[in-house]
Structure formats: C-alpha cells, structure tokens
C-alpha cells in the first residue's frame, strides 16, 4: 500500500520527526520508545537504516501516527504542534503510549 511505503520512506529520511512522536498501539511492550521504532530497528553511525522493523507494516495506529507526522512536517508545522495534534487524537482512545520524552527534553 502507498501509505506503508511512504511511512517507511519517511522514517528512513526523517528520524528527527518520528523519534519525537509517541505511538499508542501498545508497542511500548515491544520496547518501542517512539513511532520511529515502529518502522526502523537499527541505524548505522551515520543514521542510515540497517534493519527495518516489520511491526509498522500492519499496524493501523503506527501508520496513522506516521501519516499525521508526515503531513504536519510537509506543512511546515513545528514538531511540538504535530505531536500535540497526534496526542489529542489518540490519547483519549488508547490507554497507553510509548515513553517518548517531551519535545525539548
């Protein structure tokens, strides 16, 4: 699906965005720290992807968070505003989220 390909491509190119976005699917039990972990499991010292995380392929919540982050980034929104929108949408519906530190910390 195009959204899956776009999410993985965005994760590869923009870890500075997805590492700031929490995920709400319960993947913190898989040791995920943020939405980037839903798509990438390893990077080299230069930040290039060396191993993909298959979890994001079939998880609608992971894909939704990545899509919203992509759209906000493409619109030039600050990361704090992107994250606030994602949290406002998902936090009321899901009981847990990844332990993603607040932006600026």
Strand (E) or helix (H) holding 80? helix 79-90
- The pLDDT value recorded for residue 37 is 98
40 lies in which domain range?
2-90
Which residue, 29, 33, 30, is CA-closest to 19?
A: 33
Decide if 84 is inside a domain.
yes
Confirm whether 100 is domain-assigned: no
pLDDT in tens, 25-64: 999 999 999 999 999 999 999 999 999 999 999 999 999 9
Q: How many domains does the chain have?
A: 1
Residue 54 in any domain: the answer is: yes
pTM (2 d.p.) = 0.94
Residue 15 belongs to some domain of the structure: yes
Query: Would you give the DSSP letter of residue 6?
Result: H
């Amino acid at each position: 699906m195009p959204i899956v390909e776009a999410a993985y491509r965005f994760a590869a190119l923009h870890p500075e965005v997805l590492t700031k976005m929490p995920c709400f699917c319960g993947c913190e039990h898989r040791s995920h720290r943020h939405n980037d972990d839903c798509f990438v499991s390893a990077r080299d010292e230069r930040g290039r992807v060396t191993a993909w995380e298959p979890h994001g392929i079939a998880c609608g919540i992971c894909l939704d968070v990545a899509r919203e982050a992509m759209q906000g980034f493409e619109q030039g929104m600050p990361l704090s505003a992107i994250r606030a929108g994602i949290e406002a949408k998902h936090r009321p519906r899901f009981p847990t989220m990844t332990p993603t530190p607040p932006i600026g910390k």
